[in-house]
Amino acid sequence: MRRPLLIALAMLFAFAVIVLPVAAIFTRAFAEGAGVWLSAITAPETRAAIWLTILTALIVLPINIVFGLCAAWAIARFRFPGRRALLILIEIPFAISPIVAGLCFLLVYGAYGPVGAALQPYGLQLMFNLTGIVLVSLFVTCPFVVREVLPVLAVTGEDEERAALTLGASGWQIFSYVTFPNITWPLLYGAILATARAIGEFGAVSVVSGAIRGQTMTLPLQIELLYNDYNTTGAFAAATVLALLALVTLILRGLIAAFHPARGATS
């Protein structure tokens, strides 16, 4: 008797907290017809916001992959001073509220911060533009790849790497033939989680974006702006785009789970 009750509760919860709100976005966005929806998402400002969000994600993704691989590799394979510190440091972005992270970046890299002020004479500005948005997005997303890759790297492959070394493989050959195939799935998985987060990030980006309409507004910022302008149709239409982008990452994530047994249905 208890099992059906638990299942019903879980279903109800999922419906109330997930299905209903998401469905509401789409109903509301299409309430005035597909034509209105289309013109709302193709409005110049919204289009610019969509592009900025995708551009940011595209810049952040490869940097995340390279940094994540290097950090995970170093921590898993070498004992060096500062190793434990690096391990803790990598977790910090998850512990800090994004808005605080944004403020920290502003303090250091803004026009009145030490780095920002030093760069100003050369006409270099880091905050309130794409650079600033990319920097905070990197901060917010950098733990994902490391966290997925590190545990796998730590328990597999060291012996295989040593075998490859004695067989005459170069460092690069060891990485590409032996190590990389072992961590392809966790790497992809971490990269997708990071990308989803980069696309949806609001707090940290809102601090450093400068909110220049049509220029430094990412999609989440643009949605809030439209909503505050009482342009609810525009806001919900833009929200559907964000939801669709999230859906794509969700599908990719599901595909990986399906093809990578260790990731199974529980994750």
Partner 1 sequence: MSLRIENLSKSFDGGTSVLDDVSLTVAEGEFVALLGPSGSGKTTLLNAISGLLSPDRGRILLDGEDITHLPAGKRRFGMVFQSYALFRHMSVAQNVEFGLRVLKGAERPSKSARRARVAELLDLIEMGDLGDRYPAQLSGGQQQRVAMARALAIDPRLLLLDEPFSALDAQVRQTLRASVRELQRKVGVAAILVTHDQTEAFAIADRVAVMNEGLIDQIGSPEELRAAPATPFVRSFLEAGT
Q: What distances in angstroms separate CA 60 from CA 17, 84, 145, 170, 253, one per listed residue?
A: 30, 25, 12, 29, 18
Q: Are 103 and 159 in contact (CB under 8 A)?
A: no
Instruction: Locate 146 and state its tokens.
Output: 């490391």
Q: Are 101 and 27 in contact (CB under 8 A)?
A: no
DSSP string, 209-235: S---TTTS--HHHHHHHHHHTT-HHHH
The smaller minimum CB distance to partner 1, of residues 124 and 167, is found at 167
The smaller minimum CB distance to partner 1, of residues 42 and 184, is found at 184
The smaller minimum CB distance to partner 1, of residues 94 and 177, is found at 177
The smaller minimum CB distance to partner 1, of residues 76 and 101, is found at 76
Interacting residues of 74 by C-beta distance below 8 A, sequence separation 6+: 80, 83, 86
- Minimum CB separation from partner 1 for residue 179, in Å? 10
Number of residues that bind partner 1 (CB under 8 A): 16
Report the alpha-carbon distance of residue 193 to residue 201 in Å, rounded.
12
Q: Which value, to the nearest 10 degrees, does the dihedral of the CA atoms of residues 141, 49, 34, 246 take? A: 0
Report the alpha-carbon distance of residue 172 to residue 73 in Å, rounded.
13
With binding defined as CB under 8 A, does residue 164 bind partner 1?
yes
With binding defined as CB under 8 A, does residue 82 bind partner 1?
no
Report the site for partner 1 in 143-162 (rule: CB under 8 A): 159-160, 162
Stretch that binds partner 1, among 128-136, 164-172, 209-217, 234-242 (CB under 8 A): 164-172
With binding defined as CB under 8 A, does residue 170 bind partner 1?
yes
The smaller minimum CB distance to partner 1, of residues 131 and 182, is found at 182
With binding defined as CB under 8 A, does residue 62 bind partner 1?
no
Site for partner 1 (CB under 8 A): which residue of 152, 178, 207, 245? 178
- Minimum CB separation from partner 1 for residue 260, in Å? 12
255 — phi, psi (to 5°)?
-60, -45
| Helix, strand or coil, per DSSP, at residue 189 | helix
The site string for partner 1 over 179-198 (x = CB under 8 A, - otherwise) reads --xx----------------
- Minimum CB separation from partner 1 for residue 157, in Å? 8
Site for partner 1 (CB under 8 A): which residue of 173, 244, 251, 259? 173
- Minimum CB separation from partner 1 for residue 65, in Å? 20
Rg over alpha carbons for the chain, rounded to the nearest Å, is: 22
The smaller minimum CB distance to partner 1, of residues 178 and 205, is found at 178
- Minimum CB separation from partner 1 for residue 222, in Å? 44
- Minimum CB separation from partner 1 for residue 80, in Å? 13
Is the C-alpha dihedral spanning 190, 192, 197, 199 positive or negative? positive
Q: Which residues bind partner 1 (CB under 8 A)?
A: 159-160, 162-170, 173, 177-178, 181-182
